[in-house]
Amino acid sequence: MATFKDLALQYVLSDDEPAQLEIVKKAAQEIESSGANRTVVGNWAASVQPWMSRDQPGDEDLVEDGEDVGNGDIISRSKALAFLAGTLEALDKSLLRTDQVTFLVGFFGSMFSYDHKSGITASTQALQQLQVMKAFKPSLGVKMVEDLLKLKEDFRLQTAATRLEIYKLLSTLLHDESVSSELQHKYGASCGFVVDLLQLCQHERDPRNLMVWFKIQADLLRDYSPSPEVTEEIFKAFSAYFPISLRSSATPIGITAQDLKLAVRQCFSAHHRLASHAFSFLLQKLDQGDAVTVAVKVDILQTIEACITNYENPQVSVVPYIEKLWNSLKYEVRNGEVKETIDATLDVLRAIANRLDGSKTQKQDVSLLRDYIDLVFKDCREDLGNPTYTKQAGLLVTTVITSNIRSYMLESSNLIECLRKNLVSPKSPAHTKDLVLLLNSVLTARSHLIEKRKEGHPADQEDLKGELKSHSANTVYDMLSGVWVSIPNKSDCLLDPDENKQTIELLKQVIKGLALLATQVIVREQGDIALLCSEKILSSISGHLIHILVLRLPLAYRDPSYVGKTENSYTLEEEAQTALRDVVGVYLPAYEDFVQRATDEILGYNWGEAHGRTVFGLIELKNLLSRLAYVGCSRLPINIPSDVANPKPFSALNHLVTFLAAAIDLLPLVLVKPDEDDITEQKEQWANLYVLSAIHSGLLFFHRECVAKYTAEALLADRSVGGNWVEELDRLPNNWLQLLRSDEMTDVAPDQMAVDGPSVFGRYLRFGMFLTKYLYRQAVTGASLIWTESMIEQVGDIATAVVRRLTEEEQVSHKLAREAFELFNGRTSSAEHTLLLTRGILTGLWPAAMSELYTPDGPAEKYLCNVPVFAISTMHQIEIHASISLILTDRYKGGPSTADPEYQVIKRVLHFWGEKLKEACASADMKPQSMELLSFLAMKVFTGAAARQDKHARQLAQVLEEALVNDNANADILARATGILVEHSYVLSAENHAIVGRLYHQWVYNFIASPLLQRGLPGGGSPAAAKRFRTAALCIISGSSFGVFEADLQQVVRLVIVALNDEDEPTPAAAEQFTTPLQVLHDIINEDPDSLKGHIKPIIDGLLKAHRWGYRTVAKAGLDKTPTKVLLASKIALDVLGQLPLKFEHRHLLAYIPKVERIMAETCGHPSRQIRGVAREVRARWLKIN
């Protein structure tokens, strides 16, 4: 006794929650150790006596020692009871015996009658614990409910938290099956206790409590069988809250208005016995018209939908109210303007149709659904003929009819017939468009229903088999083609879209409809699907779409007045292109037709003259070729049976092969003119280039589609390396793709097309390799009047696109590293122009596939140490040479078990180029042009190694240190070339399997640029050498991001200021002296303007100096002869100048306003339009300074 008393006292005196927890655990252990001995439990219960009033019921049992402490204070008493509740929580739930539980329920239950101030929370918590005791009896649950109801008016005086505990207890009790049946047994069907409960809780406003209270009401309706009167009382209780909202509060409570809405909605839809009350109540609210906001309207509609979906026995709960519902709802769509309301209404109408149809396991009587659809159709039929309401009526009727398969089968033919009649005599073009739109939505819904047919009742699938195939296809096609034919001159739409906007919109809908019709399927007797349309219809549909796609080419080629009309949009063609892509996906001959028609059209013109006539012809040629690639290669076709007499067996590769074969056949579209000096500049060759670029696009589209459909992992998993393709493909004729296209290939490499699933990708790569080999041979041995350098470069890119998709093992197996130099011709080519082809293959190779090149003194080393004759080379030639060198130094992997176990090859190569640079800078013997080329090439060699973070590349720092001290022009050139080390290059992308260290730029900065910083500042050594070091460092810094050099920011800022204010102005060729510090400054001002705060004057002076130098250079040389980098210097200087008013307080800039304004006003007359534009912006920003 003493122990429990002490514990209770400690608990009451303690405010520390963990300490209280410890105390109750001790008490619980005490009871448990005694095995719930009656005396011990009694002592425990009596331990709170000092805080209880003497006149409390049951205290005659509790009071043992006659201690009287009076009423005590409320808080202490509350805590004392909490001690008991806490002990119960900590106690083993199977320990107490029935009589003890009964006694405790009685004790705590009595608190609801006598201690409204302090005992409720703790008693409720205690009862919650007792309710889960093993010895708990259902009759005790009934007692608890009755005790709770005794709170009456005092309930609402309790705090929200106390009420929440009570709601939780009630919810648990009413949800407990045994208590529930005991309650129903005691109170019978009338559920009389519910009325008292409703009275008890009728004033609840707290959102958290409401959530539980609504759940209790929904449970009462769902799990109990209240009499109609009680049901009505419950309905009144929760419907009083509808529509519910929530005031925004500064302290979020974790409950949203949407949670409350859903909780009330669950009450409405809890049981179908509420139907009569719910529907009339909700419709009455809905019919208040404008008095209801959109959000409330949507809430009402969603609540109606929930009722319809959840009520059981629809004959009783839904059918009687359908007419009433329809009569109210139809106006929400017919006259509605708000999308949310219309969508919610359509959801309700769809829900009714689905409810009347039945469930997946049980169908309702068909007459219910038929009557409903008739009701809807009857009201909408007339509106379909009225242009004002066509759209709305169509929405209503199509929503209902396409809700499920049964309703579709019942009435779709009537709807289509009704649309047909209206289309025969439309009231206006907009009416026609609306009708076609409706037809399209019926077709879309039909596809969706058929797709989901297996998810529904088995009867649905049987119903679909009965669909009249030929009738529906012919009728719909006649309707669409009728509209199509009624627009005779479609070229007007392309030429003058502004005048034909309405017609274009109509045509777009018709095109959509045609594609939807062509892709419709029908369920056959066997249960599988087949195409709905006949070959004749499919052929006509594709003919219409192809017509649109080839229409523009002759207009652009022939019509001289076509110029100026091209600002029109291409929406019609884009719609047709998407539609045709869908059609060729199921009806394969359509693509063959498209290719045939397009190539006939293309070959009908002399592209050698095109440029002389109009460039728009060439633009449309490019568009048409790209469309051929897109339509045929961007989606894999699907094999759907049909009555089409296809001359070729189905293959997912059909379109790809057709496209590639046709594109190859188009080459050459034009021969360049041999009498002109520079054939690379001839525009005519672009016709050929567009053919190659279309092939390239086609390959990329196909790859993307394969990845999207099967995932990249599946494409890799489903491949076997299988021998050397190059050798295998060698045995095939040159016209292999053409033979495959015409399906004449029977004896050589059979079954190339007969694959499915992810293996399609393996075949795609095989075709790609064949194409690469074919084009490479043509390019190496073909006529130079076709295979210009641009063409060869494009062929190289195609090779990259194919080669990089091969795995490492495949590349090794096909010996592609060797082929990169032999170009599929069996011997190494020495011709200059073939370097582009070499680069094409090398770019896509994995490092491991190139390892055989790196044997000491092997192909890679020989190539890398081969110094071109710079005196007779052009920059373009060296660029190509250097890009290969870059790949070779980047993909290198030396070490044990490789061809270069001692890591010597690249070390020797880098040393070789380092020495070359030092030699060249040591004297002024080399001409500046040659030095430019040498430094470019050498830097590219170093870049490849630096990207890998190869330690041997660090020697470049030492090379620069020694080379840049030389006082000659070659050293200047070398200093300007260092930026190449961090220049972006597409061959260094991850997609091309390049080895690029994660900290590549940081690495270059730390090991190459950072040692130069100090040498670049004035003070040490000769000013000319300092300038070179400065330039070299800034060239690297300007190509790096801010984070790379942030640690040395102050030093970099000083370097930038010195560089900008250098007294010697550079020549135009040496514009890096300005562009690099300006670029760095641009980065700094955007990332950390505060670091520049103390240097505003020298910065503005430097910016204006750089800009004026640029302006003078342009004025002197003319815009066309000014190097781009000079204009770039001006532009960045102005950009930074424009940033100053945004980044600094205006007081720092006031002194410079007149100077800047004067120069900016003058710059508004700069010869370059772009610079003028920037100057205007800067001027406006400085004008705002006050």
Partner 1 sequence: MASADIQNANPTILSVSQLPTRLEGRISANKGAHCEYDNVVFRDRDWLKDLMKEHAGDDSAGEPLDEQEVYDLISVISDPEHPHTLGELNVVRLPDIHVTPPPRNNPKGLGNVQVELTPTINHCSLATVIGLAVRVRLEQTLPPNYRIDVRMKDGSHAQDDQVNKQLGDKERVAAALENDSLKGVLDNMMKPCFA
Residues that bind partner 1 (CB under 8 A): 498, 563, 566-570, 573-574, 577-578, 611, 614-615, 618-619, 622-623, 626-627, 629-630, 634, 683, 686, 689, 693, 696-697, 700-701, 790, 793, 797, 986, 1115, 1118-1120, 1161-1165, 1167-1169, 1172, 1176-1177, 1179-1180, 1183
DSSP 679: G
Nearer to partner 1, 47 or 688 (CB): 688
**Smallest distance, partner 1 to C-beta of residue 693, A:** 5
Nearer to partner 1, 452 or 704 (CB): 704
**Smallest distance, partner 1 to C-beta of residue 994, A:** 16
Nearer to partner 1, 578 or 838 (CB): 578
**Smallest distance, partner 1 to C-beta of residue 924, A:** 34
For the four alpha carbons of 1013, 1016, 1018 and 1022, in that order, the dihedral sign comes to positive
Nearer to partner 1, 549 or 806 (CB): 549
**Smallest distance, partner 1 to C-beta of residue 1010, A:** 31
What does the alpha-carbon distance between residue 300 and residue 345 come to, in Å, rounded to a whole number?
A: 10
Nearer to partner 1, 169 or 771 (CB): 771
Q: How far apart are the first and last CA of the chain?
A: 85
**Smallest distance, partner 1 to C-beta of residue 1058, A:** 32
What does the alpha-carbon distance between residue 61 and residue 45 come to, in Å, rounded to a whole number?
A: 10
Under a CB-based contact definition with an 8 Å cutoff, are residues 464 and 409 in contact?
A: yes
Under a CB-based contact definition with an 8 Å cutoff, are residues 1029 and 1015 in contact?
A: yes
Q: What is each CA distance from 802 to 9, 182, 450, 791, in whole angstroms?
A: 84, 77, 39, 17
Nearer to partner 1, 107 or 616 (CB): 616
Q: Which tokens hold the place of 360? A: 């997946």
Nearer to partner 1, 288 or 1170 (CB): 1170
The pair phi, psi for residue 521, each rounded to 5°, is: -120, 165
**Smallest distance, partner 1 to C-beta of residue 925, A:** 35
Q: How far is CA 394 from the centre of its chain?
A: 33
- Beta-bridged to residue 522, according to DSSP, are 530
Nearer to partner 1, 129 or 1163 (CB): 1163
Q: Which long-range contacts (CB under 8 A, 24 or more apart) does 810-815 make?
A: 810/719, 810/721, 810/725, 810/765, 811/845, 811/846, 811/849, 812/848, 812/849, 813/721, 813/722, 813/723, 813/724, 813/725, 814/724, 814/725, 814/726, 814/769, 815/724, 815/726
Strands 521-523 and 529-531: antiparallel
**Smallest distance, partner 1 to C-beta of residue 1162, A:** 6
Tell which residue, 67, 49, 71, has the closest CA to residue 4: 49
**Smallest distance, partner 1 to C-beta of residue 712, A:** 18
Nearer to partner 1, 185 or 1116 (CB): 1116
What does the alpha-carbon distance between residue 1079 and residue 1083 come to, in Å, rounded to a whole number?
A: 6
Q: Which tokens hold the place of 744? A: 């004449």
Nearer to partner 1, 152 or 1172 (CB): 1172
Under a CB-based contact definition with an 8 Å cutoff, are residues 204 and 162 in contact?
A: no
**Smallest distance, partner 1 to C-beta of residue 875, A:** 15
Nearer to partner 1, 27 or 799 (CB): 799
**Smallest distance, partner 1 to C-beta of residue 689, A:** 7
Nearer to partner 1, 407 or 985 (CB): 985
Q: Which tokens hold the place of 799? A: 């090779």
Nearer to partner 1, 567 or 677 (CB): 567
Nearer to partner 1, 73 or 681 (CB): 681
Under a CB-based contact definition with an 8 Å cutoff, are residues 142 and 183 in contact?
A: yes
What does the alpha-carbon distance between residue 780 and residue 706 come to, in Å, rounded to a whole number?
A: 32
SS3 1123: coil
Q: In 10 A of CB 159, how many CB atoms? A: 11
Q: What is each CA distance from 706 to 652, 703, 759, in whole angstroms?
A: 11, 5, 10
Nearer to partner 1, 222 or 673 (CB): 673
- Residues written for the chain: 1186
Under a CB-based contact definition with an 8 Å cutoff, are residues 349 and 376 in contact?
A: yes
Under a CB-based contact definition with an 8 Å cutoff, are residues 46 and 64 in contact?
A: yes
**Smallest distance, partner 1 to C-beta of residue 992, A:** 12
SS3 468: coil
Q: In 10 A of CB 684, how many CB atoms? A: 22
Q: Which residues contact 986 (CB under 8 A, 6 or more apart)?
A: 992
What does the alpha-carbon distance between residue 778 and residue 798 come to, in Å, rounded to a whole number?
A: 14
Nearer to partner 1, 44 or 659 (CB): 659
**Smallest distance, partner 1 to C-beta of residue 788, A:** 12
Upstream peptide bond of 668 is cis (omega within 30 degrees of 0)? yes
Q: What is each CA distance from 1013 to 532, 720, 767, 891, 1064, in whole angstroms?
A: 75, 54, 54, 31, 20
**Smallest distance, partner 1 to C-beta of residue 1176, A:** 5
Tell which residue, 160, 175, 14, 176, has the closest CA to residue 86: 14
Under a CB-based contact definition with an 8 Å cutoff, are residues 239 and 274 in contact?
A: no
Nearer to partner 1, 106 or 1167 (CB): 1167
Nearer to partner 1, 168 or 1176 (CB): 1176
Q: Which tokens hold the place of 322? A: 């359908």
**Smallest distance, partner 1 to C-beta of residue 287, A:** 34
**Smallest distance, partner 1 to C-beta of residue 1112, A:** 12
Q: Which tokens hold the place of 1001? A: 């730029």
